[in-house]
Structure 1
């Protein structure tokens, strides 16, 4: 791949601007190739931070089985730029919501656990983006997932205590059925 990238002239690269928090210029070249052991052709891309190989300090190679009409230079760059958000999700889901905290024995139970974590993540993120948690459960702007989760936990705790005060007889009957004395 390096030899192919080195053989390309700067005219063969397309300049694309990544629209991130801080805009970034990249140069992309693509080619359709046949790979050993593959029945169909694949499209490969070289994404660099300079016009030519010798000046580039950041060079990435990508391969896809996506239809070559769809896999344009812009598509490669945009798709690659979105990978960070997947990593953010896993960091938050594992660290804050217990994605890695499971004690199950079969695939069905594991899938249920993952679905609950994904739903909780989506719910909290949706509320933090729409301002739902901020309106009632936070005294400051919710800028991080941890702050949104804290506001969510406050809301749930409040709702549970409210329910408990209104349904004390149900709660004590349940505890009594388990053999516990509740005072």
Structure 2
């Protein structure tokens, strides 16, 4: 986070529940040094808003945002407390997210929806490493490494585009191409056929 701050980049990051921040307790409004899990307990249930996330499966989370101060930082930060139930007692999963985005932008809904998109980055890396050889390179220069990465990104983009538009399925598949793997296998079939025809 310090590196991102030094480069003046906006971020959303997860924090541990035992991280201490300077926040206000609800009844008296006094500023205290408090752990995040204790801060969550001090909030009223009405402060949590239900937000529906459109992931692979629809999921509802409850979010409350609090403005806090961190040690070593002059500006305040927004903390989002995210639960999988309407109350802390019922919740089996509680996450604490921090952002340095401005208060006008950093609403609970924006933080949660933006943070949930990180899963697609993980999906890309898993598929690019496993199927497209992202980690299988032997180069001696940065220029060659960049070329390798660009080829992998182009191949991934092309296959996803074919999957989404149905281009491969029309001619080279006899089943729906719901996953990246299905689309890649249909693409390989098309390339093998065309290569054979060319030979």
- TM-score calculated relative to the size of structure 1: 0.81
> What is the CA deviation profile of residues 12-63 of structure 1, one whole-angstrom value per residue up to 9, with x for unaligned ones?
1112222334332211111222222334322111100122323211000111
Say which structure is richer in helix. Answer: 1
RMSD: 1.7
Q: In structure 2, what is the equivalent of residue 177 of structure 1?
A: none
Name the counterpart of 1:50: 85
Q: Distance in 2 between matches of 1:139 and 1:23?
A: 29
- Local SS of the residue matching 2:65: strand
- Answering whether residue 78 of structure 2 is matched by residue 76 of structure 1, we say no
Once the two structures are superposed, the pairs formed by residues 1-183 of structure 1 within 5 Å of their partners are 1-164=36-199
2:16 corresponding residue in structure 1: none
Query: What is the match of residue 172 of structure 1?
Result: none
Query: Which consecutive unaligned segments of at least 5 residues does structure 2 have?
Result: 1-35
**How far has the Cα of 1:101 moved from its partner?**
0.8
> Relative contact order, CA 8 A, sep 6+: which one is greater?
2
User: Bigger shift: 135-144 or 19-28?
Assistant: 19-28
Task: Tell me the secondary structure at the aligned position of residue 53 of structure 1.
Answer: coil
The structure whose Rg is larger is 1
For 2:139 and 2:73, the matched residues in 1 are separated by: 37
Give me the whole-angstrom Cα distance separating, in 2, the residues matched to 1:147 and 1:15.
Answer: 36
Flag the 1:122–1:17 CA change in 2: closer, same or farther, 3 A.
Answer: same
Q: Which moved more, 1:120-129 or 1:81-90?
A: 81-90
Aligned positions, number: 164
| TM-score normalised by L of structure 2 | 0.75
